[in-house]
Chain A
Amino acid sequence: MILEVRDIRSFYGETEVLFGVSLEVDAGEVVALLGPNGAGKTSTLRSILNLTEVKRGEIRFDGKNITRAATHTIARAGIAWVPDDRRIFPTLTVERNLSIAKKTTRFRAWSERECFELFSALEYLRQRECEDLSGGEMQMVAISRALVGAPGLVLLDEPSQGLAPKIVHDVLRTIGRLKSEGVAVLLVEQNPLAALSAADRVYVMDKGRIVHHGAARGLLENSAMRTRLLGV
Chain B
Amino acid sequence: MLATFVLFATLPFWIKGVGLYPYLGVEVMIWIVYALGFNLLLGHAGLPSFGHGAYFGVGAYAFGLTQLHWGLGLGGGLLFAVLAGGIAGALVAAFISHRRGIYYALLTIAFGQIFWFVAVKWHSVTRGEDGLLNIKRGSVLGYPLEALESLYFFCFAVFVVVVLLLWRLVHSPFGRVLSAIRQNETRARFVGYNVWLYKWLAFTLSALIAGAAGGLLALAQQSAYPNVMSLHQSGFVVMMTLVGGGLVSFWGPVLGAVLFFLARDLLGAYTEAWLLWYGLLFMLIVLFKPEGLAGLLTDVRSRPSA
Interface residues of B in 193-218 (CB under 8 A from A): 193-195
Number of B interface residues at 8 Å Cβ cutoff, please give it. 16
- In the complex, which residues of chain A have a beta carbon less than 8 angstroms from the beta carbon of B173? 100
- B187 interface neighbour in A87, A91, A99, Cβ under 8 Å: A87
Query: CB of B184 within 8 A of chain A?
Result: yes
**Cα–Cα, bound, A71→B179 (Å):** 19
Q: A87's contact among B176, B177, B184, by CB below 8 Å, is which? A: B184
Provide the bound-state CA to CA distance between A76 and B176, in Å: 18
Let me know if A75 and B184 touch, CB within 8 A.
no
Which of A72, A75, A96, A101 has most B Cβ within 10 Å?
A72
Please report which residues of chain B, range 134-189, place their CB below 8 angstroms from some CB of chain A when the two chains form the complex. 173, 176-177, 179-180, 183-184, 186-187, 189
- B174 → chain A, closest Cβ, in Å? 11
Determine whether the beta carbon of A89 is less than 8 Å from that of B177.
no
Chain B proximity mask over A88-115: 1 for CB below 8 Å, otherwise 0: 1111100010011101000000000000
Whether A100 touches B184, Cβ cut-off 8 Å, given contacts A72-B193, A75-B190, A75-B192, is: no
Residue count of chain A within 8 Å CB distance of chain B: 21
> Known contacts being A72-B195, A100-B176, is A89 close to B184, with CB within 8 Å?
yes
User: A116 CB to closest chain B CB, in angstroms?
Assistant: 20
Q: How far is B192's CA from A100's CA once the two chains are assembled, in angstroms?
A: 10
A101–B180 alpha-carbon span in the complex (Å): 10
Contact of A70 among B180, B183, B186, B194 (CB under 8 A): B194
**Distance from B272 Cβ to chain A, minimum over Cβ atoms (Å):** 42
The reply to whether the CB of A49 lies closer than 8 angstroms to some CB of chain B is: yes
Are A72 and B189 touching (Cβ within 8 A)? Answer: yes
B6 at interface by CB-CB < 8 Å = no
A-B contact pairs, 20 of them (CB 8 A): A51-B186, A51-B189, A51-B190, A71-B189, A75-B190, A75-B192, A76-B192, A87-B187, A89-B179, A89-B184, A89-B187, A90-B183, A92-B176, A92-B179, A92-B180, A99-B176, A100-B177, A100-B180, A101-B192, A103-B191
The 8 A-B residue pairs whose C-beta atoms are closest, nearest first, are A75-B192, A71-B189, A101-B191, A72-B194, A103-B192, A89-B183, A76-B192, A72-B189
